[in-house]
Amino acid sequence: MPAVSKGDGMRGLAVFISDIRNCKSKEAEIKRINKELANIRSKFKGDKALDGYSKKKYVCKLLFIFLLGHDIDFGHMEAVNLLSSNRYTEKQIGYLFISVLVNSNSELIRLINNAIKNDLASRNPTFMGLALHCIANVGSREMAEAFAGEIPKILVAGDAMDGVKQSAALCLLRLYRTSPDLVPVGDWTSRVVHLLNDQHLGVVTAATSLITTLAQKNPEEFKTSVSLAVSRLSRIVTSASTDLQDYTYYFVPAPWLSVKLLRLLQCYPPPEDPAVRGRLTECLETVLNKAQEPPKSKKVQHSNAKNAVLFEAISLIIHHDSEPNLLVRACNQLGQFLQHRETNLRYLALESMCTLASSEFSHEAVKTHIETVINALKTERDVSVRQRAVDLLYAMCDRSSAQQIVAEMLSYLETADYSIREEIVLKVAILAEKYAVDYTWYVDTILNLIRIAGDYVSEEVWYRVIQIVINRDDVQGYAAKTVFEALQAPACHENLVKVGGYILGEFGNLIAGDPRSSPLIQFNLLHSKFHLCSVPTRALLLSTYIKFVNLFPEVKATIQDVLRGDSQLRNADVELQQRAVEYLRLSTVASTDILATVLEEMPPFPERESSILAKLKKKKGPNTVTDLEEAKRERSTDVNGAPEPAPASLSAVSTPSPSADLLGLGAAPPAPAGPPPSSGGLLVDVFSDSPSAVAPLAPGSEDNFARFVCKNNGVLFENQLLQIGLKSEFRQNLGRMFIFYGNKTSTQFLSFTPTLICSDDLQTNLSLQTKPVDPTVDGGAQVQQVVNIECVSDFTEAPVLNIQFRYGGTFQNVSVKLPITLNKFFQPTEMASQDFFQRWKQLSSPQQEVQNIFKAKHPMDTEITKAKIIGFGSALLEDVDPNPANFVGAGIIHTRTTQIGCLLRLEPNLQAQMYRLTLRTSKEAASRRLCALLSEQF
């Protein structure tokens, strides 16, 4: 086979590429490129008409320059000219340039479409192929409008070449994905289905992808594909390894086509026709049998291709979930892989078994592998494999294995990677609650969680243990005794202090009879932790103390003394001060009866879906956990005998925090349950897809949000229907933001309602004003909304922009974080080195400084860093830091109430690819927020 030599055909291109490769520095490269650009520009502008070859060569050079990462702002017309050349190589470069560089709303689109039209009509299969590939690569709406009618004809034409059919099928698929409304399912559909019978396996391969996508959306119209796919599959899997010649890959007949056919079948339930069903079962059995045969080759390609088909067959068996025999065989096969020497196979077996665990037919079979899975948790070197083992243990857990699995997960947690700790904590907490027969075990487990991984125990987890203890009186005494003992440890996690404080405040009386845990000892124990705790925990402990005043009159005087102390009554924190004052007063003026009423034991919490489960679902994405959980829940209604929480309840109120419930001081009002959230109610169930709920943040929203921290204009969000653009300006503590909503479709949006949502906390610090927009947005139109912004005081969260509208009968719901961040209210301040360091020293108390050391996420380029600091809003101070590699900045944040002076210093460490960022401001919360925002930028 003749090989292609380097850059043959275009010597000038090869020379240019060599030159670029020989450049010693970025500057030299840019210089060389600019020279070339000038040369090409002059050639394109010159009087002499260029021949096709030169045009091709220059266009190709421009493309190369673009791919190096430079902007190209000319040459498009020359590329379009190449499209009408009769030479393949010229046409190919023209189409390539257009596929890579031309964006869909270019003015050239009409010319391009014209050239494509000519090539499609040329009956020259090579030219038709180029044109189809261009449409498939660009896939713009304009192209869909122009060609969606034409391509099905090419696809089902009797005389089309095989290669053209392959390209046409996938081209149509691309247009269907971008603009489904423009690809109407028509009379060609039945003929497309029959492509599954085509002689040419390449055509079948391409057509199967198209049919699978169409069948997902229109299952009825493509129902006939099931029997055709089954018979095709059957012919492939029963063929000898040499029958399919070109399509046999390392002795495996047509592995990719088999996988695609098996995926197509997963769009449907098991076939109704017994003959088809029987044939399919035979196929699946054959695939399982082949896995047991000795390999035909030792090459990994052989086993990979064979196992690709096997795993897809197992997916189909699990999807049907109707043949116990096949399910058990699948499970046994995966069991063998669990011990395979290839990491890939062990990983995939764990993953696949996870779904098998939720089938009632194979649940028991999966359980037999428990020891192997536990072993994987201990020995696997790849963290992602261990993660799959955790997932599987979680999925296979039932009442009989819960104690063992929870114990193993807890012991793994001691050494687990930081990246997966929080998830393991959630899983352990859920399993412990779900399978607790004996609630003392549950309480022990959660306290162990806090001991082992206290930092990863989120509020949801410790709120939940308190709810359960309050709701079950059989465990209250045990809980009080256990937390009391756990608090004896010299160093205990703050979360334990919270749980301990709350539980002793409610149930400390249950153990007060024992002289070793008398009221005074309980109080002294808690109070010994008080000064090491954060403000919220101290607030909780103060509430515990006032509860003690009611429970144990004998310690009243001691507690009053503590409340009366300067560190309480004159505490700098308003919340603590207020609690101390009010509790002291309450303990002095109220009669015993009133005290007893006010400080009565907490009533039981209403049963609702575990907030921990909600958190896990949120973490893993609704599809992964919900389905499994829901499937399990349908089967086992007995869990715990306690009333099972309604699945995905619409009550939409997150669990109120117990620390807030105590006396209701400083408690946030419960969020309104129900539609529509106008403002305030951010606490909305994330799974509900009912129109009244706010959608979870769109994927990528966080990333987009971060991109706007240092800039004010750009595209905030874009999907197939809607584009949201932003333009904003800020001056001192005021700002104005223009939000542009673009309808990308040709259909009207109805009931178009954008809503700005701020939490209560944010509302007090940031004022937003806007007018509603017109509820109809015409196809292709753009509407604008103006938001007037005032920064009242420094703030941390960001508002959420929720957009709801109807599009062609479907309800659309999108939420994105709106990039209004504290740094927008920066005014830069210039100052000399001396001044800078003088102020720097003035702001040296520990609360004023926040520091973050982090790894560079982007190349460490000085100019980009400078631009980002300026974009962030502070002044960039040159010649201030003695180390010229460091960056320092200064500015003032303007709010309605105050001005906050800010100094920042960024120290890059090129060798370690790390940064150290230090923020000093006159306000701790502001330092913290600015540091967090800026750290995300490098």
Partner 1 sequence: MVWIRFILIQNRAGKTRLAKWYMQFDDDEKQKLIEEVHAVVTVRDAKHTNFVEFRNFKIIYRRYAGLYFCICVDVNDNNLAYLEAIHNFVEVLNEYFHNVCELDLVFNFYKVYTVVDEMFLAGEIRETSQTKVLKQLLMLQSLE
Q: Is 60 in the site for partner 1 (CB under 8 A)?
A: yes
Answer yes or no: is 465 a known binding residue. Answer: no
- d(C-alpha 133, C-alpha 76), whole Å: 19
Q: What is the DSSP string of 805-847?
A: EEETTEEEEEEEE----GGGGEEE----HHHHHHHHHHT-STT
Distance from first CA to last CA of the chain, Å, rounded? Answer: 49
156-185 residues in contact with partner 1 (CB under 8 A) are 163, 166-167, 170-171, 173-174, 177
Answer yes or no: is 11 a known binding residue. Answer: yes
Three-class SS of 613-657:
HHHHHHHHCHHHHHHHHHHHHHHCCCCCCCCCCCCCCCCCCCCCC
Answer yes or no: is 418 a known binding residue. Answer: no
Quickly count: other Cβ atoms within 10 Å of residue 132's Cβ: 28
How far, rounded to the nearest angstrom, does the alpha carbon of residue 98 sit from its chain's CA centroid?
33
Q: Which one, 296 or 367, has the nearer CB to partner 1?
A: 296
Q: How many residues bind partner 1 (CB under 8 A)?
A: 78
The type of residue at 242 is: T
In 719-809, beta strands by DSSP E: 722-731, 734-743, 749-757, 766-770, 782-791, 800-807
| Cα 580–Cα 586–Cα 589 angle in degrees, nearest 5 | 135
For 253, 317, 330, the CA distances from 310, given in Å and listed in that order, are 13, 10, 9
Q: Is 3 in the site for partner 1 (CB under 8 A)?
A: yes
Q: Which one, 177 or 570, has the nearer CB to partner 1?
A: 177
User: What x-and-dash track marks residues 718-737 binding partner 1 by CB under 8 A?
Assistant: x-------------------
Position among 78, 312, 321, 422 found at the interface with partner 1 (CB under 8 A): 312
Q: Which one, 205 or 550, has the nearer CB to partner 1?
A: 205
Residue whose token pair is 């902007």: 71
442-501 residues in contact with partner 1 (CB under 8 A) are none
Three-class SS of 265-286:
HCCCCCCCCHHHHHHHHHHHHH
Q: Is 84 in the site for partner 1 (CB under 8 A)?
A: no
Position among 67, 437, 574, 594 found at the interface with partner 1 (CB under 8 A): 67
Answer yes or no: is 61 a known binding residue. Answer: yes
Least distance CB 699 / partner 1 (angstroms):
6
Q: Is 910 in the site for partner 1 (CB under 8 A)?
A: no
Least distance CB 348 / partner 1 (angstroms):
6
Answer yes or no: is 394 a known binding residue. Answer: no
Position among 55, 76, 232, 260 found at the interface with partner 1 (CB under 8 A): 260
Residue whose token pair is 């927008």: 824
How far, rounded to the nearest angstrom, does the alpha carbon of residue 81 sit from its chain's CA centroid?
44
8 Å CB contact between 219 and 265:
no
Position among 54, 114, 209, 848 found at the interface with partner 1 (CB under 8 A): 209
604-633 residues in contact with partner 1 (CB under 8 A) are 621
Q: Is 384 in the site for partner 1 (CB under 8 A)?
A: yes
Position among 218, 289, 292, 343 found at the interface with partner 1 (CB under 8 A): 343
Least distance CB 623 / partner 1 (angstroms):
9
Kindly tell me the sign of the dihedral angle through the C-alpha atoms of 447, 453, 455, 460.
Answer: negative
Q: Which one, 118 or 368, has the nearer CB to partner 1?
A: 118
Least distance CB 621 / partner 1 (angstroms):
7
Q: Is 337 in the site for partner 1 (CB under 8 A)?
A: no
Least distance CB 561 / partner 1 (angstroms):
56
The helix or strand, by DSSP H or E, that contains position 921, with its residue range, turns out to be: strand 914-921
Least distance CB 54 / partner 1 (angstroms):
16
Residue among 738, 736, 756, 758 at smallest CA distance from 682: 758
Q: Is 88 in the site for partner 1 (CB under 8 A)?
A: yes
| Cα 126–Cα 128–Cα 133 angle in degrees, nearest 5 | 95
Q: Which one, 249 or 738, has the nearer CB to partner 1?
A: 249
Least distance CB 231 / partner 1 (angstroms):
20
109-138 residues in contact with partner 1 (CB under 8 A) are 126, 133, 136-137
10-49 residues in contact with partner 1 (CB under 8 A) are 14, 17, 21
659-698 residues in contact with partner 1 (CB under 8 A) are none
- d(C-alpha 903, C-alpha 905), whole Å: 7
Least distance CB 113 / partner 1 (angstroms):
18
Least distance CB 5 / partner 1 (angstroms):
9
Answer yes or no: is 60 a known binding residue. Answer: yes
Position among 54, 81, 84, 89 found at the interface with partner 1 (CB under 8 A): 89
8 Å CB contact between 670 and 608:
no
Least distance CB 499 / partner 1 (angstroms):
33
DSSP class of 703: H
808-867 residues in contact with partner 1 (CB under 8 A) are 857-859
8 Å CB contact between 463 and 615:
no
Q: Which residues are annotated as a binding site?
A: 11-12, 43, 53, 57-61
